[in-house]
């Protein structure tokens, strides 16, 4: 035993031997570390890719995404690696996602980030209205999308004619709050944005009334939003009814009868056909250019708006329901109709 210990001490006292042994250990450590890094880099991980070409402004559904194995080293930092971060979102307005492509953070956005997201929320039969506001009229930027507001109207300057104040239109849902550049004020951003417009939808007759009133500044007409349910009081002002305000607007404007529009003469108006029976397949036919020249959408039973990039779209009904189809031009002009789907036995 003593001989073994003596031999070991003699062995480690030899500088050449210790140097060689140290070099060997270092080489082994380098090899192990390098091998680990290589294995980690080429180890496959699952990432989502597109199963079909996805056009801009298209809602990404579950069948448009599949998981495939990709080497970790081939993935950049902006590659989305979770399926749940993609399904239900939309392709960006300037992005075509090719079949087989990975999804990137700048090509997938939420519905709220779509430039025309507010238009998709406008109900059938309503017209989009852009109501000018500022920080003061929005109560310090306290009116949010989804809030209900009333539009109040003030008439008169208090000198030549008495001031009259009343509720012109009530119970309006705010669809979006934008700044002067058309950007959503309440986007998740560190940039401070000042409200310049409220976006909401109005029935055609209410749209006409409000638009007329907006052109009457010279008569001392002022329009401003009030949170729904609130009351406006002003010292020395006379509270008047909605009908009195409408009569005042009509007395100071001229009505031009609207020409009747034949939907069949509108080349951009989508059309529908049914197979009948149960289930009932309703086929919507859109004009050429959906997803490119036009934004084409449909809504089934007041559900979520679905983007369409092809000329025809089948919608299946197993009971009674409703269907709204819309073609929106680049300038925002909508061509829309709603049809009731009967219950077929």
Tell me: do 303 and 318 sit in the same domain.
yes
pTM beyond 0.85: no
What is the pLDDT, as a whole number, of residue 259?
45
pLDDT digits 0-9 by tens, 53-73: 888 778 899 999 999 988 877
Report if residue 116 sits inside a domain: no
Report if residue 256 sits inside a domain: no
* pLDDT band of 3, cuts 50, 70, 90: low
CA distance 123 to 117: 13
Report if residue 209 sits inside a domain: yes
Tell me: do 19 and 79 sit in the same domain.
no
Tell me: do 9 and 74 sit in the same domain.
no
pLDDT digits 0-9 by tens, 241-274: 888 888 888 888 766 554 444 545 578 888 888 8
Radius of gyration of the chain (CA): 32
What is the pLDDT, as a whole number, of residue 263?
47
What is the pLDDT, as a whole number, of residue 149?
92
Cis peptide bond upstream of 279, omega within 30: yes
Report if residue 115 sits inside a domain: no
CA distances from 75 to 46, 50, 66, 102, 339 (A): 11, 16, 16, 9, 47
pLDDT digits 0-9 by tens, 198-212: 989 888 888 888 999
Using the CB atoms, write b or e for 320-331: b if 16+ within 10 Å: ebebbbbbbeee
pLDDT digits 0-9 by tens, 279-327: 888 899 999 888 888 888 888 876 777 889 888 999 888 887 888 888 8
* pLDDT band of 132, cuts 50, 70, 90: very high
Q: What is the mean pLDDT of residues 8-22?
A: 61
Q: Of the residues 109, 140, 163, which one is the last residue of a structural domain? A: 109
* pLDDT band of 49, cuts 50, 70, 90: very high
What is the pLDDT, as a whole number, of residue 65?
93
Q: Is 152 exposed, middle or buried (0-12, 13-18, 19+ CB in 10 A)?
A: buried
Report if residue 114 sits inside a domain: no
Contact present, 64 and 99 (Cβ < 8 Å): no
The share of the chain scoring above pLDDT 90, in percent, equals 17
Specify the CATH number for the domain of residue 297.
2.60.40.10
345 or 258: which carries more pLDDT confidence? 345
Q: Is 118 exposed, middle or buried (0-12, 13-18, 19+ CB in 10 A)?
A: buried
Q: What is the mean pLDDT of residues 96-123?
A: 79
Half-sphere exposure (Cβ direction) of 337: Cα atoms closer than 13 Å: 16
Tell me: do 175 and 212 sit in the same domain.
yes
Q: Of the residues 216, 251, 286, which one is the last residue of a structural domain? A: 251
Tell me: do 36 and 55 sit in the same domain.
no
Q: Please list, in sequence order, all residues whose beta carbon lies within 8 angstroms of the beta carbon of residue 339, skipping any fewer than 6 positions away.
A: 272, 322, 323, 324
Tell me: do 269 and 234 sit in the same domain.
no
Q: Which helix (H) or strand (E) holds 69?
A: strand 65-71
Identify the domain containing residue 104 by its residue range: 44-109
DSSP calls for 105-146 = TTTEE-GGGSTTHHHHTPPTTEEEEEEE--TTTTTTT---TT
Specify the CATH number for the domain of residue 99.
3.90.1210.10
CA distance 90 to 103: 11
Q: Of the residues 55, 89, 109, which one is the last residue of a structural domain? A: 109
Report if residue 257 sits inside a domain: no
Nearest to 84 by CA among 53, 48, 117, 52: 48
Report if residue 318 sits inside a domain: yes
Report if residue 65 sits inside a domain: yes
Tell me: do 153 and 240 sit in the same domain.
yes
CA distances from 262 to 265, 266, 273, 339 (A): 5, 7, 18, 16
Dihedral sign, CA of 132, 137, 141, 142? negative
pLDDT digits 0-9 by tens, 142-201: 999 889 999 999 987 777 778 888 889 989 999 888 888 777 788 655 678 889 999 898
Mean pLDDT in the chain? Answer: 79
What is the pLDDT, as a whole number, of residue 51?
93
170 or 40: which carries more pLDDT confidence? 170
What is the pLDDT, as a whole number, of residue 13?
60
The share of the chain scoring above pLDDT 70, in percent, equals 78
**What's the chain's length in residues?**
345
Tell me: do 16 and 68 sit in the same domain.
no
Tell me: do 128 and 216 sit in the same domain.
yes
Tell me: do 151 and 172 sit in the same domain.
yes
Tell me: do 164 and 79 sit in the same domain.
no
Tell me: do 32 and 102 sit in the same domain.
no
- How many domains does one find in the chain? 4
Ranges of H-type helices in the chain: 2-12, 15-42, 117-120, 204-214, 242-251
């Amino acid at each position: 035993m003593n001989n073994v210990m003596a031999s070991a001490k003699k062995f480690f006292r030899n500088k050449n031997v210790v140097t060689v042994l140290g070099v060997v250990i270092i080489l082994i450590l380098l090899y192990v570390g390098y091998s680990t890094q290589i294995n980690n880099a080429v180890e496959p991980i699952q990432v989502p890719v597109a199963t079909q070409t996805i056009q801009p402004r298209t809602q990404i559904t579950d069948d448009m995404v599949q998981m495939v194995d990709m080497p970790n080293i081939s993935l950049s930092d902006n590659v989305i690696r979770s399926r749940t971060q993609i399904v239900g979102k939309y392709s960006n307005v300037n992005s075509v996602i090719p079949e087989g492509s990975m999804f990137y953070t700048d090509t997938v956005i939420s519905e709220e980030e779509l430039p025309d997201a507010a238009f998709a929320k406008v109900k059938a039969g309503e017209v989009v209205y852009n109501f000018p506001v500022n920080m003061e009229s929005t109560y310090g930027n306290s009116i949010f999308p989804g809030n209900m507001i009333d539009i109040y109207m003030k008439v008169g300057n208090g000198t030549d004619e008495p001031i009259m104040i009343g509720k012109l239109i009530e119970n309006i849902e705010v669809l979006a709050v934008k700044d002067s550049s058309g950007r959503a004020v309440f986007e998740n951003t560190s940039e401070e944005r000042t409200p310049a417009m409220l976006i909401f939808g109005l029935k055609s007759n209410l749209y006409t009334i409000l638009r007329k009133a907006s052109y009457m500044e010279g008569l001392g007409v002022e329009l401003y939003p009030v949170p729904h349910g609130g009351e406006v009081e002003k010292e020395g002002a006379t509270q008047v009814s909605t009908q009195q305000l409408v009569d005042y607007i009509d007395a100071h404007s001229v009505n031009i009868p609207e020409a009747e529009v034949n939907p069949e003469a509108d080349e951009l108006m989508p059309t529908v056909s049914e197979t009948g029976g149960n289930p009932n397949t309703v086929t919507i036919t859109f004009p050429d250019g959906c997803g490119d020249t036009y934004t084409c959408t449909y809504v089934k039973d007041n559900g979520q708006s679905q983007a369409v990039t092809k000329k025809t779209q089948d919608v299946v009904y197993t009971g009674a329901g409703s269907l709204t189809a819309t073609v929106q031009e680049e300038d925002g002009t909508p061509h829309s109709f709603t049809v009731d789907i009967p219950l077929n036995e």
